Amino acid sequence: MRDIALVAFAQTDHRRTSDEHSEVEMLMPVLHQVLDRTGLKTADIGFTCSGSSDYLAGRAFSFTLALDGVGAWPPISESHVEMDGAWALYEAWTKLLAGDADTALVYAYGKSSPGSVRDVLTRQLDPYYVAPLWPDSVALAALQAQALIDAGHTDEPALAGVAARSRRDAADNSHAQLRGSVPHGDYLVRPLRTGDCPPIGDGAAAVILAAGDRARELCERPAWIRGIDHRIEAHGLGVRDLTDSPSTRLAAEKAGAFELPHGLKGMGGAPTVDTAELHAPFTSQEVVLRKALRLDDSVRVNPSGGALAANPIMAAGLIRIGEAAARIHRGESDRALAHATSGPCLQQNLVAVLEGDPR
Amino acid sequence: MPEVLKAPLTLEFPFTRSLGPVQSAFLTGLRERVVLGVRTTDGRTLVPPVEYDPVTAEEIRDLVEVAPTGTVTTWAWNHAPRRGQPLGTPFAWALVRLDGADTALLHALDVPGPDAVHTGMRVRVRWAEERTGAITDIACFEPFDGHAPAELAGCSGEFEDMVTGIVAPARLDYTYSPGRAQSAYIKALSEHRNVGERCPSCRKVYVPPRGACPTCGVATLEQVEVGPHGTVTTFCIVNIKAKNLDIEVPYVYGHIALDGADLALHGRIGGIPYDQVRMGLRVEPVWTEGSRFPDHYRPTGEADADYDTYRELL
Ligand SMILES: [Zn+2]
C-alpha cells in the first residue's frame, strides 16, 4: 500500500460572525495559504474534495460557489461530502491509496452565524419520532452528560475542569475563538453550562495530502497517515448506551491506534500515541471519548484547545486532523490520534492515526 | 468597505413523509392511545419501533403493546423552551423506558423544576387531546406514583384507517448576508448601475461578481462599471406561467453580455415581440420606479452585434 501523508494545514481565525464575507470570500485565503506552504498550484493538485452543509447558511448547492475559490477552470477532479471535512479527507485518502492521484486538496467550511445552530442541527435527526419535537443539539448533549453523571463517570466540577483546560490550552492558538479564562457560566440545558458548550462560529480549514516521495518533497516532516476508519451507531438515542462510544473504539482499532508504530503489533491496550486531538464539542463528550479510547494521562489531549475553543461546524473535525498533523510537522509529536464526530451524542466517529518519521 | 447588506431569510417546508408498516402501526397506535414496540429475534422490545434490527439489520415486524408507564433513564432540564418543542413552559427532556420495552423513547417531561426529576423516576404518557398519528400525540410525560405497569389494551397493531404518512413542517430562520462583493453589486443596482469586478490575474470582468475568479481562484477586488447596453448571447421562450408571477406568457428569458463584461448575466427581454428576439440583439435595462433591480431588458435600436464580438461569452 502507498504511504500517504498530510503535508500542509491552514485554518481561518474562527469568529462569531463574518458578515462581511461570503463563504468563498472566507474560504479563499485558507486555500491560498495551504497551497503556498507547499508551493503547489491548483493545476498541480490531483484531486479536490470538500465538506460543508447547506443547512448552516440556508442556501442550496453552496459548495459549488465555494469552488470558485479553488479555480476550477480548466476542469479539475472534484468531489464533495455533506459532512465534516474529515470525511472529505477520508475520500481523498482512498483516492490516493487507489493510485488515482498523487496529491489532494481537502477543505471544509461552515458559516453558522446566519442561522441558529441549535435549531438547524435538529434537522439531522430521525424525522418521524425525534425531529418533530425539535430537541436542540445542547439538549441532546445534556442528556448524555446526565447519563455520565448518573453512571459516576464524571461530575459537574470535572466537566468544568475539561472546559478550563481546553480554553487555557487555546491561549496559545491564535485561531481559536474562545481562549484563556472563560466563565463556566449558567446552565444552558442542565447539567451543561455555557462553558461546557462550544462557541458558535464561522470558519474554514484546508489540508494537502501527498503520496510517497511527493510528500517528502513538499514537507520536511510529513505526517504519515497510518490508518483511518469511521463507524456509525444506531440513530435511535434510546437504543444506544450514551455513556460509551463503541463506534469510536472500533474505528480506532481498525485505524491501528492500539498497535505499535510501524506495524509492530501492540497488546491491544492503551493507544500508542503521544497526542490525541478529539472532536468533542461538549465537555461531557471528552469524558466519553477518553474512556472509549482508553487514553491515560500520558497522552496530550487537545493541545489546540479542541472544539471547545473553536467549533466551525463541518470544519472542526478536519481541524483536529490538521492540528494533529501540524504537531508532527513541528516535531512536537511522533504519533498522534485524530478524531472527528458527526450527528447527535457522538453518533458517527472517524479516527485517523498519524506518524512522523523516526528521529 | 461599503456597508454589507443583511436581510431576514426564512426557509419553510411541509415535508410529506410516507411510513413503513412498523412506523404506520406505531403512529396509528398513538392516535388510539396505545404504545407499540417491535420485538427483535433475540427477544428485545424496541420502543419506538424500527423496521430493521439496529444490531443485525434484520427486518423486524413483530409488533407488541407496551405500557404507557415507564422509567426515566436520563434527563436534562430545559429552562428556556424553544420554538417547536413540546411544551412552552420549562420542562425536562427525558429518555423514558416504557414498561415492557428494552429501549428508551425521547420526549418532554412536565415537572415544575429540576428538583422534581431524577433518573429512575416513574412517569406516564400524557396524551394530546387532538391526535392525528404523530409523535406529538404524546403531549409529554408526567410523574406517575405507581410502580406496577398500567394495564394493557391487548392491541395487536391492527387498526382501522391506518395512518400511512405524516406531514412534518420545518422552519428555519436566517439572517442572510451576501458578503462584500455581492453587497456592492446589489447596492450599485439600486442606484441603477451595473458593477462588476475584474480578476487581477486573467483581467476578466465578472457580473454579478461573487468575490472570486472561478478560473484563477483569486479574489476579484477592482470594481468596474459595465453596460448599461449589452448583447443577447442566447435566449429561450418561456411558455409556462410560474405561480405568483405577473408576466404574460410566452416571454423571453435571455443571457445578456453587458458591454465591458466577460460573463453574461440573465434577465427577461421585453419591449419586442417574443418571436423577434435573436442572438446579437442589442438591449438595455429598464428600471421601474422604486425597483432595486432591472425589471427587464429592451432593444436599444442599435444594429445587431457581430457574432465574433460575443462568441466567447456563449
Ligand atoms: Zn482570473
Q: Read off the pLDDT of residues B93-110 as tens digits, 9 standing for 90 and up.
A: 999 999 999 999 999 999
Residue A129: list chain B partners with CB under 8 A.
48, 105-106, 135
Element (H, E) at B254: strand B251-258
Residue B163: list chain A partners with CB under 8 A.
none
Residue A70: list chain B partners with CB under 8 A.
217
Q: Is A31 on the interface with B (CB under 8 A)?
A: yes
Residue A25: list chain B partners with CB under 8 A.
179-181, 211-212, 219
Residue A112: list chain B partners with CB under 8 A.
none
Residues 72-101 of B with CB under 8 A from A: 73-79, 82-86, 93-95, 97
Q: Is B201 on the interface with A (CB under 8 A)?
A: no
> Binning pLDDT at 50, 70 and 90, where does residue B246 land?
confident
Mean per-residue pLDDT, B308-312 = 91
Q: What are the backbone angles phi and psi of residue A231, rounded to the nearest 5°? A: -135, 155
Q: Is B57 on the interface with A (CB under 8 A)?
A: no
pLDDT tens-place string over residues A221-266: 999 999 999 999 999 999 999 999 999 999 999 999 988 775 444 4
Judge if the upstream peptide bond of residue B208 is cis by omega within 30 degrees of 0: yes
Nearest to B4 among A19, A23, A192 (CB): A19
B46–A116 C-beta distance less than 8 A:
no
Q: Is B293 on the interface with A (CB under 8 A)?
A: no
Q: What is the pTM of this model?
A: 0.94
Residue A77 CA to its chain's centroid (Å): 24
CB A271 within 8 A of CB A242: no
Nearest to A115 among B73, B166, B173 (CB): B173
Residue B104: list chain A partners with CB under 8 A.
237-238
Q: Is A119 on the interface with B (CB under 8 A)?
A: yes
The total of other beta-carbon atoms located within 10 Å of residue B43's CB is: 7
Residue A114: list chain B partners with CB under 8 A.
9, 174-177
User: Residue with C-alpha cell 432540564?
Assistant: B77
| Cα–Cα separations (whole angstroms), residue A156 to A181, A290, B47 | 18, 17, 31
Q: Of A325, A320, A326, which is closest to residue A302 (Cα–Cα)? A: A320
Q: Is B167 on the interface with A (CB under 8 A)?
A: no
Residue B216: list chain A partners with CB under 8 A.
71
Task: Provide the pLDDT for residue A267.
Answer: 46
Longest dimension (CA), chain B: 91
Distance from the alpha carbon of residue A80 to the mean position of ligand 1, in angstroms: 23
Q: Which amino acid is at A65?
A: L
* Residues forming beta bridges with residue A108, ordered by sequence position: A51, A205
CB A142 within 8 A of CB A159: no
Residue A236: list chain B partners with CB under 8 A.
46, 48, 50, 54, 103
How far is the C-alpha of A274 from the C-alpha of A354, rounded, in Å? 11
Q: Is B4 on the interface with A (CB under 8 A)?
A: yes
| Cα–Cα separations (whole angstroms), residue B95 to B71, B73, B88, B149, B153 | 8, 6, 19, 17, 23
Nearest to A71 among B11, B78, B215 (CB): B215
pLDDT tens-place string over residues A289-304: 999 999 988 899 999 9
Q: Which three cell numbers stand for residue A229?
A: 476508519
Q: Is A246 on the interface with B (CB under 8 A)?
A: no
B73–A132 C-beta distance less than 8 A:
no
Distance from the alpha carbon of residue B212 to the mean position of ligand 1, in angstroms: 8
Instruction: Determine the distance in angstroms separating the CA of B86 from the nearest CA of chain A, rounded to an integer.
Output: 6
CA geometry: angle A41, A46, A49, nearest 5 deg? 95
How far is the C-alpha of B289 from the C-alpha of B303, rounded, in Å? 29
Task: Provide the pLDDT for residue A38.
Answer: 97
Residue B115 CA to its chain's centroid (Å): 38
- Closest-CA residue of B relative to A73 is B215
pLDDT tens-place string over residues B112-124: 999 999 999 999 9
How far is the C-alpha of B42 from the C-alpha of B62, rounded, in Å? 12
Interface probe for A, chosen from B35, B72, B106 (most Cβ of A below 10 Å), is B106
Q: Is B6 on the interface with A (CB under 8 A)?
A: yes
Q: Of B229, B228, B231, which is closest to residue B193 (Cα–Cα)? A: B228
Using a pLDDT cut of 90, give the percent of chain A over it: 86
Residues 160-199 of A with CB under 8 A from B: 187, 189-192
* Predicted ipTM > 0.90: yes
Beta strands in chain A (DSSP E): 4-11, 47-51, 78-81, 103-111, 187-189, 192-193, 202-211, 223-232, 275-277, 300-301, 335-342, 348-355
Q: How many CA atoms lie within 13 A of A298 on its CB side?
A: 8
- Please determine, for residue B34, whether its predicted confidence score (pLDDT) is greater than 80: yes
Task: Give me the tens of pLDDT residue by residue for chain A, a chain 359 residues long.
Answer: 799 999 999 999 999 988 888 899 999 999 999 999 999 999 999 999 999 999 998 888 888 888 888 988 888 999 999 999 999 999 999 999 999 999 999 999 999 999 999 999 999 999 999 999 999 999 999 999 999 999 999 999 999 999 999 999 999 999 999 999 999 999 999 999 999 999 999 999 999 999 999 999 999 999 999 999 999 999 999 999 999 999 999 999 999 998 877 544 444 555 689 999 999 999 999 999 999 999 988 899 999 999 999 999 999 999 999 999 999 999 999 999 999 999 999 999 999 999 999 87
Nearest to B172 among A19, A32, A119 (CB): A119
Task: Provide the pLDDT for residue A271.
Answer: 63
